Structure 1
Amino acid sequence: MKVSEAIIGQAHGKDVVAYTLTNPNGISLTAMTYGASITELLMPDKNGKVDNVILAMDSLDDYVTHRPYYGATIGRIAGRITKGAFDLDGTTHQLVVNEGVNQLHGGPDGLDTHVWDAEVEASADEASIHFTTTDADGANGYPGTLSVKVSYTLTAENEWKVTYRATTDQPTLFNPTNHVYFNLSGDINQPILQHNLQLNSAAFAELGESNMPTGALLPTEGTPFDFRNEGKLAVAAEGSHPQTRKVAGFDHPFLLQHDEGKPDAILSDAESGRTVKMYTDQDSVVIYMHNAAIDKYTVAGNPVIQYAGITLETQALPDAINQEGFGDIVLRPDEVYTAETIYKFEVQQ
């Protein structure tokens, strides 16, 4: 395994370092200390052509200025918190809101805006970047000083492993994710609508006002949300279901049914032959399809088209603290939060 590093600029008065891990099969992963963000994932297609298969900004300044969450570590809480408020142990906490009256992706100064510390280790079989940061008591309105470690490991078996570890000195909330966008064609000017998805999920969370979960889990059967058998993503953009029409595609949490040894999701592109198999220990995956075009910044020198990429954001169900039956995202001082998601890359001829 090969490892390299380079200083790519500064943010918040600190050097931002990008680390590149490369395995013997021609797959390489680059991630930077700003936001513990993955910025490049190179892999060959069925003809041996190597492309970046994730969305990435053209400069560090673009990440800082526009904050698109591309490839970033999201926290303390992924997704939205209703009215930016929650009750914990009899105390109501008002968070700093940054999307209307709600909080999105941890607030205005979430973990994706930190310049993380990093260490690298490597062996013949794998290489890892270990990112660490501390989120102060009161940051974005959350109680407790939170210590977080996120590790990215690239293996000789073409796996990208994302592992989380966190502790706190006061009861708080923690529900992180990685916000990587895949476009397996390797061409961000080609939409992902012809990608195929297989998803081990029989239920999805309904979205209501301001795209907040209503608390209802709806069956996928008979809807565009049913990917238990492989199907094309175009169904979300072209269908007439009120939930897909609401957001012009998917921006929905899917409840996962874990089958031991089987992928929780498989994303593939027949033209390039590239496939990503996802395995996670988390309850759900939020799938978002970059449902709107963006022209205020560029990716690979071009404005970003609608449906330029798709996220597979593994996490507990969003807004769980305010939705009965959505799971427990409270982290207490005597606990250690751990989670893992693995993306395995394959090429089909």
Structure 2
Amino acid sequence: MDSGLGGLDLTTDVGALTAALVDVPSVSREEKALADLVEQALRGLPHLSVDRDGDAVVARTHLGRPERVVLAGHLDTVPVADNLPSRLDADGVLWGCGTSDMKAGLAVQLALAARLTAPNRDLTYVFYDAEEIAAEYNGLGRLVERHPDWLTGDFAVLMEPTGGRVDGGCQGTLRVRVQTTGKRAHSARSWLGENAIHKAAPILARLAGYEPRRVEIDGLVYPEGLNAVMIEGGHAGNVIPDTCAVTVNYRFSPDQSEADALERVRGVFEGFDVVLTDSAPGALPGLSHPAAAAFVAAIGTPPAAKEAWTDVARFSALGIPAVNYGPGDPTLAHTREEHVEVAAIHEAERRLTAWLTA
């Protein structure tokens, strides 16, 4: 196994392959070295066709099967937090940046790409860049715009860490700025002004009193959340501020459209100036689709709702049912202590292999 210029050995143990991927730093917008290695390794497999756009790599089988499955994962990680190179301890736990989110999932994808030369479904493997930062940079979004034909399929699995269970659909997310205005004055003569920060108190009170919904869809429960995530206001230590803005993030169930979710938020803050700054739709679980049902049965654990936004929403927008499934604990993502159990990587590889060869 060599994670440097010598290339990736896709025949090695999937745990060692994960370590090789982790040891190639790939912070968002700096994925080229890893994308080069992935492309090189996949082009060495004669049963796959390989395409590349920027730092996104797509490989496909062309066996004429009646169904095509897309397996997708992002190459990038959050910034390194003194947790590289990777370290394997005696208990079979691999430590390092990206181990859980989501180079363990990438390793499973690459192992399957190398070993499944005649799967029971045609397969598309997608490795893309810039998932961890603003949506405008997202490599999967770029592929949707430029090369939707590369992503054609009947069902998709996003290899995000889920603790080895199937997470159906995903929440939608939007952010708004709830703004107040006042009158600027010297703080020594505060009665001459109107304090915009004080006027934000009712905004916070409404947030504190808000009761989030819990919505059941196809047997999965999606909890919502409406929370202040930032407050901006003030000019100096002796000035009554004339502006204040509370940034509010709404994580909403996929039973609502983005427009519906925004209308709900505007209702909560009726009487205030509400400005939309960012929005992304949720995705319905789609577990009634035959391919999704077969996948859930193959994994063998009860599915759950995805309590976050993920790129399954992009597949859903293309009309492709999609779920989240991968090794690793999602609560460890982005932490200094990020790690993954090697046994969990093997288990994901085993279950996917069984599903795709039965």
Q: Which has the higher contact order (CA 8 A, sep 6+)?
A: 2
Greater strand proportion: 1
Which structure has the bigger radius of gyration?
A: 2
